[in-house]
Amino acid sequence: MAKISEAEVMADHGIDDVFVAYPLVTAAKMERALRLSERIRLCVGVDSEAGARNMEEAAARRGTTLRVRLEIDCGLRRTGVPYEQAVKLAQLIHGLPHLDLDGIYTFRGNLLDGKPTLDLRSAGHEEGRLMVALAEQIRAQGVPVREVSVGSTPTALYAGEVEGVTEVRPGTYIFYDRMQAKLGVCSLDDCAASVLATVVSRPSDTLAIIDGGSKTFATDVQPDKEPLNLSGFGYIPAAPEAMLERLTEEHGMIRAQAGDGLTIGSRVRIVPNHICSTVNLHNRVYLHENGRYRAIAVAARGMLE
Amino acid sequence: MAKISEAEVMADHGIDDVFVAYPLVTAAKMERALRLSERIRLCVGVDSEAGARNMEEAAARRGTTLRVRLEIDCGLRRTGVPYEQAVKLAQLIHGLPHLDLDGIYTFRGNLLDGKPTLDLRSAGHEEGRLMVALAEQIRAQGVPVREVSVGSTPTALYAGEVEGVTEVRPGTYIFYDRMQAKLGVCSLDDCAASVLATVVSRPSDTLAIIDGGSKTFATDVQPDKEPLNLSGFGYIPAAPEAMLERLTEEHGMIRAQAGDGLTIGSRVRIVPNHICSTVNLHNRVYLHENGRYRAIAVAARGMLE
């Protein structure tokens, strides 16, 4: 879970224990985090001395203590203090009286030796070992580390096997998607969420057009990229040979073939490459249970503030 | 303007003349279009015999006439009847008593000889000439063609110069964006919309991380693709050498350099590659006029229905 705005929406929906795995740095967001921490059990990310000191001051002004967790960069080169500088920063945070350092966390994805990999077992084990070893180094300096939190959906299963890891944070597993299937985390049949599109045009045997484009299917996981080499922007269970080849904003162009059933007006279910960013594009999702559909709003999205 | 759901939102906001440049094919959407056509002046797209006959039946059932326009594929291979089959389909639609065929339209983009091009003048002129020539062929069969509608933002200026064109439909020009600047349609200074992000982490001199990723910046216009060859996912006016190199869902990784001012907590304005699909990711946009900001909701989005 990423942002304070999303944590606020979750709190409004009754979720009372939230980890904002994202560095908080601005005064306005820290104030919101401090207010939220009085309503629910909240932990927020920190990954820099500047961020930690700002947060210390904000908590001191409010006369409270904020639970924080130190983010470590284990090679993804995203947020997170560089691995080699983590012990020093943990000691510094531990010395700040209004911050309660509860542990360390990382997000590494399916990375091994600095490159995306399909060897999730090795990647997950390495991720876990790196974090447990770091926790030991920090503890050796007299700084308690209660939580050692790891794991993306591809690596969580294996990273969680490492002795000393206390938490995994997979996200995509709730639905699974085509990317996870290609990674070998699940099968295509395991993918629980799909987009139900309609064929709106069939200009020729080889081209079918649906009413969903890049505003309907996320484009952050592109086709034909290593190591996934996904073919097109989604998987079509009813016509596995058909390829959702091109997207414009409201149009999806399917490379089709005669007799594939993609006739004008027909419905076509498509498993997107990346379900997280695809759900983010829609106002509602429809939950299916026992033959019934229930619409629920996608509430925590569209907010940079 | 693309979808009936968007047209409904526009009508609710007081816009009373809307062209749904999108083929309507399902019974439910046709019913909605017919209802909407009783509230506002509406025209809807058609590009197939099946779609036209369904629409004729729906309009006949409701005892009304629906204004339609025939979409032509001039080479983009998206929706639109293939160019060579257009005269025949226009004749067929003209013969359907409950449809009022008001003309033809196309969306071709910056295409020339079947490939994306930076020669917008030639592309626009060709687009206009193709459509005017087709209108003449259709008229020669006794079918009136009042509207000859062309034009995307890159080609509108030139396509609109062609004698016989009655309408251009640019969209991005309202804001302009980095893609249009690279196409030569505008300058980067002309881009009116940007994303205001915050630097949340600066793990090293060469890496700065902002609080916006693929849920904040659209990824449908990818870097390093012909003919645009955009560098990264957005342009940073305050640090033109910095590159928004990688995106995950909530993180944007900037390839930075020492002394560029991208310090933790600083605000950074970024002109996205594609503003249309970027606005689509946000709940609100903030309009700036005379030193004041006014938030308005992004209403017509997130709907596949």
Give a yes or no: residue A203 inside a domain: yes
Residues 55-74 of B with CB under 8 A from A: 73
The residue out of A170, A192, A213 marking a domain boundary is A170
A265 touches B at CB < 8 Å? yes
d(CA B20, CA B24): 9
d(CA A111, CA B295): 40
Give a yes or no: residue B304 inside a domain: no
A153 and A92, same structural domain? yes
Statement: residue A162 has pLDDT above 70: yes
CB A300, CB A5: distance < 8 Å: yes
Give a yes or no: residue B101 inside a domain: yes
Tell me: the pLDDT tens digits for B36-83?
999 999 999 999 999 999 999 999 999 999 999 999 999 999 999 999
Dihedrals phi, psi of A267, to nearest 5 degrees: -90, 145
Quick one: DSSP state of residue A106?
A: E
Q: How many helices (H) and strands (E) does chain B have?
A: 8, 17
* Residue given tokens 């004749």 in the structure block: B91
Show the tokens assigned to A33.
């985090």
pLDDT of residue A206: 97
| Sign, Cα dihedral of A128, A130, A135, A140 | positive
A264 and A184, same structural domain? yes
Q: What is the CATH number of the domain that holds B284?
A: 2.40.37.20
Nearest-by-CA chain B residue for A72: B203
Give a yes or no: residue B245 inside a domain: yes
Helix ranges (DSSP H) in chain B? 4-12, 27-37, 49-62, 86-94, 120-139, 156-159, 178-183, 275-279
pLDDT of residue B1: 55
A206 and A288, same structural domain? yes
| Sign, Cα dihedral of B196, B202, B206, B212 | negative
B212 touches A at CB < 8 Å? yes
A262 and A125, same structural domain? no
The answer to whether the CB atoms of A23 and B248 lie below 8 A apart is no
Residues 219-258 of A with CB under 8 A from B: 219-220, 222, 247-251, 253
* Residue given tokens 């700040």 in the structure block: A96
Dihedrals phi, psi of B16, to nearest 5 degrees: -115, 10
pLDDT of residue B216: 97
d(CA B144, CA B150): 17
The answer to whether the CB atoms of A203 and B81 lie below 8 A apart is yes
CB B63, CB B30: distance < 8 Å: no
Quote the minimal CA–CA distance from A88 to chain B in Å. Answer: 14
Nearest CA to A179 out of B248, B272, B234, B279 is that of B248
Lowest mean pLDDT, pick from A23-27, A77-81, A243-247, B269-273: A23-27
Q: Which residues of chain B lie closer than 8 angstroms to A195, CB-CB?
A: 304
pLDDT of residue A304: 81
Alpha-carbon separation of residue A75 from A8, A78, A84, A130 (angstroms)? 30, 8, 11, 10
CB B244, CB A264: distance < 8 Å: no
d(CA B167, CA B156): 9
pLDDT of residue B3: 84
d(CA A66, CA A128): 26
A159 and A24, same structural domain? yes
Work out whether strand B243-247 and strand B252-255 pair parallel, antiparallel, or are unpaired: antiparallel
B221 and B76, same structural domain? no
A245 and A101, same structural domain? no
B269 and B155, same structural domain? no
B70 and B158, same structural domain? yes
Quick one: DSSP state of residue A160?
A: T
Give a yes or no: residue A187 inside a domain: yes
A98: confidence class by pLDDT, cuts 50, 70, 90: very high
Quote the minimal CA–CA distance from B279 to chain A in Å. Answer: 9
Q: Which residues of chain B lie closer than 8 angstroms to A250, CB-CB?
A: 2-3, 22
The residue out of A170, A197, A216 marking a domain boundary is A170
Mean pLDDT calculated for residue range A94-120: 95
Give a yes or no: residue B196 inside a domain: yes
Work out whether strand A111-112 and strand A115-116 pair parallel, antiparallel, or are unpaired: antiparallel
The answer to whether the CB atoms of A51 and B264 lie below 8 A apart is yes
Statement: residue A1 has pLDDT above 60: no
CB A198, CB A261: distance < 8 Å: no
The residue out of A143, A170, A197 marking a domain boundary is A170
Q: How many Cα atoms are found within 13 Å in the side-chain-facing hemisphere of B26?
A: 16
- ipTM entry: 0.95
Nearest CA to B263 out of B221, B201, B211, B220 is that of B201
B285 and B154, same structural domain? no
A239 and A155, same structural domain? no
Nearest-by-CA chain A residue for B21: A250
Average pLDDT over chain A, rounded to an integer:
95
Give a yes or no: residue A304 inside a domain: no
Mean pLDDT calculated for residue range A30-45: 96
- Domain total for chain B? 2
d(CA B102, CA B17): 14
Statement: residue A30 has pLDDT above 80: yes
Give a yes or no: residue A232 inside a domain: yes
pLDDT of residue B40: 96
User: Is this structure's pTM higher than 0.90?
Assistant: yes
**Per-position pLDDT tens, chain B of length 305:** 568 999 999 999 999 999 999 998 999 999 999 999 999 999 999 999 999 999 999 999 999 999 999 999 999 999 999 999 999 999 999 999 999 999 999 999 999 988 899 999 999 999 999 999 999 999 999 999 999 999 899 999 999 999 999 999 999 999 999 999 999 999 999 999 999 999 999 999 999 999 999 999 999 999 999 999 999 999 999 999 999 999 999 999 999 999 999 999 999 999 999 999 999 999 999 999 999 999 999 998 998 87
Residues 128-187 of A with CB under 8 A from B: none
A219 and A141, same structural domain? no
pLDDT of residue B114: 84
Quote the domain boundaries for residue B77: 4-170
CB B234, CB B188: distance < 8 Å: no
CB B4, CB B35: distance < 8 Å: no
The answer to whether the CB atoms of A80 and B26 lie below 8 A apart is no
B54 touches A at CB < 8 Å? yes
Q: What is the CATH number of the domain that holds B111?
A: 3.20.20.10
